[in-house]
């Protein structure tokens, strides 16, 4: 054979051998006594072997192999192919023999039902998933040892203790099982023959099983290769799809960050060039709006990252769902009004108590309401309803907006998925909002689903959250707002940040409100400035070169000359663990960047109030 010539297919090999004749002479076999006994048993088995041997028997086996391989080449289900082989085995072995094929799981620890049309459904269910071992019937033993396991009498064989009853009930007394081996010698499953007589296999029985086992190995191995190839192809498609969506996400992120940066840059130019108070006021408002947009984008990204890494902590408390929803509605009202939408809110008269993080639940509803407002044509209708269904609160947000295509519904909550990219870009968004919503709902042991009749027909999101039984919630405690800093008061404040613009801009804001401010840009400079300036408050960045903020705080707390100074951490990290670490290092306050000037003023007001207290 030339090395370039492909080998003959298994089917061609079988066809070349099979001649179109009838099955062997079965009449002689039918004349053999059914239940030989005593000294005659060996003679009868030998006689049976002699009578069944011959070209008719071999042709019958080859025909059965050919049929099975043809089924496999036509991509018939594996179960159908294996059943064809078991039928061939039963036909050739004769009356009183039942064939079974079990498949070994990929983990190599359990067998699964492959084909056994002659065994009862209840028994097939019993062995499906059974663990293999050195004494687990004939099949479990063969799969474990990789060698043929013969039980000449199931009733007395100790290996059949766990399965003896169900087999004997079917009138089966003996079983011999051969492992099905791959081309590399790995066990793929077992091929077994059950007999109604308590006896061992004849040479013909073993030859039959050996031949059909090789065919089964070929079929199973090909099936597994096909499965592996398809699984690899699916994984590659998923990876390519994830890469495509991430690329789109990064492009969208760049777009969304540039959007607010452009008007902020323009506003800075207006403030630099214009002396008109109205123009300057408009520029300030513009900058504040765009800054909130940037903060929202960054917050969403951080929330997704924290959820994926298991670092997002819920601050659960007993809350009335109605109050949380009212808060979300109030926050979303400006966007709804800007689109001239009609919002209908239907809440129950009685409280619905949850064990939940009210901020996160409000975030979920706010996201859905904002989406409904953004993706509805002006004058749209948005409905928010809450009902009680058994032990669950059911929240529905329905709109008359752009709707969702049927092929997008299964992926609507996937990361980076955007229903309409052109609209998404126009309205703003990263394609992670609904992913965040789903994760937050699931963290509350709830579920969310989406429904739509198609593009242009609106959509509806349904959230189910578990209710918490118990007494009425106590009225919320109203805390007065922190007093504003007194006009004309002066507090010494040291601002430490390696980002010069951040340090100088924050210092400028504090000076504009009447405070005396110094700046430093690394840890050593901060320690020196603290000793010479003697501030009442140090706003200290954590990520400093040289000595980091934690180390600087620890040294300040160890310096008797700086007793009483208040320390506020400035950082981009705001989880509970980050706050614990800053407290352990000696910080009194923890501020998350971008720093809210009002939060700084609140700290200053507390320091001043403390100083006035005798």
Mean pLDDT in consecutive groups of 10 residues from the start of the chain, 614 residues: 40 35 31 32 37 69 93 92 94 92 94 94 93 94 95 95 92 95 94 95 93 94 91 90 73 64 76 85 81 75 72 85 91 87 92 91 90 90 93 95 89 68 43 81 94 92 86 34 45 90 81 90 93 94 89 95 93 80 94 82 89 67
Block residue for tokens 């950082």: 571
Q: How far apart are CA 192 and CA 98, in angstroms?
A: 8
DSSP 222-286: HHHHHHHHHHHHHHHHHHHHHHHHHHHHHHHHHHHHHHHHHHHHHHHHHHHH---HHHHHHHHHH
Spell out the alpha helix ranges (H) of 309-387. 321-338, 358-374
Please report whether residue 1 resides in a domain: no
Q: Alpha-carbon distance 471 to 125, whole Å?
A: 49
Q: What is the pLDDT of residue 139?
A: 95
Question: Which of 594, 607, 602, 571 has the alpha carbon at shortest distance from 506?
Answer: 594
One domain for residues 168 and 42: yes
Q: Same domain, yes or no, for 413 and 428? A: yes
148 lies in the same domain as 222: yes
Q: Domain of 533? A: 492-612
Q: Is residue 5 part of a domain?
A: no
Residue 441 domain flag: yes
Nearest-angstrom CA–CA distance, 589 and 567? 6
Specify the pLDDT at position 555: 95
> Does 158 lie in the same domain as 254?
no
Residue 175 belongs to some domain of the structure? yes
Q: How many CB atoms lie within 10 A of CB 50?
A: 11
Q: Quick check: bond before 594 cis, omega within 30?
A: yes
- Are 295 and 355 in a shared domain? no
Judged by phi (left if over 0) then psi (alpha if -120 to 50, else beta), residue 547 lies in beta
Select from 205, 230, 255 the last residue of a domain: 230
Question: Same domain for 380 and 433?
Answer: yes
Q: Does any domain span residue 243?
A: yes
pLDDT tens digits along 229-273: 999 999 999 888 778 767 766 666 665 666 677 677 777 888 888
- Kindly state whether residue 128 falls inside one of the protein's structural domains: yes
Number of domains forming the structure of the chain: 4
CATH code for the domain in which residue 120 is found: 3.30.450.40
Same domain for 59 and 167, yes or no, is: yes
Which 8-state DSSP code applies to residue 160?
A: G
| Torsion sign, CA atoms 162, 168, 169, 171 | positive
pTM for the model stands at 0.45
325 and 440 part of one domain: yes
User: How many Å separate Cα 423 from the centre of its chain?
Assistant: 28
- Assign 163 to helix, strand or coil: coil
pLDDT value of residue 271 = 86
DSSP state of 5: S
The pLDDT of residue 267 is 78
The CATH number covering residue 570 comes to 3.40.50.2300
DSSP letters for 475-515: PPPPPPPPPPPPTT---EEEEE-SSHHHHHHHHHHHHHTT-
Give yes or no: residues 219 and 322 share one domain: no
By DSSP bridging, strand 187-195 and strand 174-181 are antiparallel
Same domain, 292 and 428: no
Write down the pLDDT at residue 431: 58
Q: What is the pLDDT of residues 14-65, one digit of tens each?
A: 433 333 322 233 233 332 333 333 333 333 343 344 344 456 889 999 999 9
In angstroms, the CA 560 to CA 551 distance is: 16
Nearest to 239 by CA among 250, 227, 251, 247: 247
Looking at the domain assignment, is residue 486 inside a domain?
no
Model confidence over 106-124: pLDDT tens digits?
989 999 999 999 999 999 9
Whether residue 471 lies inside any domain: the answer is: no
pLDDT at residue 499 in the model: 80
């Amino acid at each position: 054979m030339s090395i370039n010539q492909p080998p003959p297919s298994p089917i061609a090999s079988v066809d070349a051998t099979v001649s179109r004749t009838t099955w062997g002479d079965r009449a002689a076999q039918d004349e053999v006594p059914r239940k030989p006994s005593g000294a005659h048993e060996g003679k009868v088995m030998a006689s049976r072997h002699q009578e069944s041997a011959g070209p008719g028997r071999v042709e019958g086996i080859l025909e059965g192999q050919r049929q099975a391989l043809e089924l496999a080449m036509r991509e018939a289900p594996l179960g159908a192919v294996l059943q064809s082989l078991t039928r061939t085995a039963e036909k050739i072995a004769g009356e009183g023999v039942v064939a079974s094929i079990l498949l070994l799981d990929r983990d190599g620890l359990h067998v699964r039902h492959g084909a056994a049309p002659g065994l009862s459904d209840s028994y097939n269910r019993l062995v499906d998933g059974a663990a293999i071992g050195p004494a687990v019937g004939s099949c479990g033993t063969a799969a474990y040892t990789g060698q043929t396991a013969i039980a000449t009498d199931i009733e007395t064989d100790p290996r059949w203790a766990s399965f003896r009853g169900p087999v004997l009930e079917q009138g089966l007394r003996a079983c011999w099982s051969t492992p099905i081996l791959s081309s590399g010698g790995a066990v793929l499953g077992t091929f077994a023959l059950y007999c109604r007589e308590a006896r061992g296999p004849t040479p013909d029985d073993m030859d039959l099983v050996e031949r059909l086992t090789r065919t089964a190995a070929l079929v199973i191995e090909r099936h597994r290769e096909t499965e592996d190839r398809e699984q690899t192809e699916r994984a590659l498609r998923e990876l390519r799809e994830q890469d495509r969506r991430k690329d789109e996400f990064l492009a969208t992120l760049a777009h969304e960050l540039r959007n607010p940066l452009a008007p902020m840059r323009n506003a800075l130019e207006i403030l630099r060039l214009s002396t008109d108070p109205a123009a300057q006021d408009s520029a300030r408002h513009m900058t504040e709006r765009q800054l909130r947009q940037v903060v929202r984008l960054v917050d969403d990204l951080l929330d997704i990252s924290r959820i994926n890494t298991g670092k997002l902590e819920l601050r659960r408390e007993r809350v009335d769902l109605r109050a949380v929803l009212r808060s979300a509605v109030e926050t979303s009202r400006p966007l709804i009004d800007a689109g001239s939408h009609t919002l209908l809110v239907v809440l129950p008269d009685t409280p619905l108590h949850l064990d939940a993080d009210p901020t996160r639940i409000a975030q979920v509803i706010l996201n859905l309401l904002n989406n409904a407002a953004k993706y509805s044509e002006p004058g749209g209708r948005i409905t928010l309803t809450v009902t009680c269904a058994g032990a669950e609160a059911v929240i529905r947000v329905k709109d008359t907006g752009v709707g969702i295509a049927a092929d997008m519904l299964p992926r609507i909550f996937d990361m980076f998925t955007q229903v309409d990219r052109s609209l998404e870009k126009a309205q703003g968004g990263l394609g992670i909002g609904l992913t965040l919503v789903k994760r937050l709902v699931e963290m509350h042991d709830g579920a969310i689903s989406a429904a739509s009749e198609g593009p242009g027909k609106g959509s509806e999101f349904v959230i189910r959250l578990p209710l918490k039984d118990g007494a009425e919630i106590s009225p919320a405690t109203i805390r007065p707002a922190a007093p504003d800093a007194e006009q004309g008061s002066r507090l010494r404040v040291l601002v430490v940040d390696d980002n010069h613009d951040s340090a100088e801009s924050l210092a400028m804001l504090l000076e504009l409100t009447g405070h005396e401010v110094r700046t430093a840009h690394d840890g050593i400079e901060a320690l020196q400035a603290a000793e010479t300036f003697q501030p009442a408050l140090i706003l200290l960045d954590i990520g400093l070169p040289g000595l980091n903020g934690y180390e600087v705080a620890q040294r300040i707390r160890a310096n008797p000359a700086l007793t009483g100074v208040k320390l506020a951490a400035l950082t981009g990290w705001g989880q509970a663990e980050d706050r614990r670490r800053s407290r352990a290092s000696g910080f009194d306050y923890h501020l998350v960047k971008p720093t809210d000037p009002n939060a700084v003023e609140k700290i200053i007001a507390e320091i001043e109030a403390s100083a006035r207290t005798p």
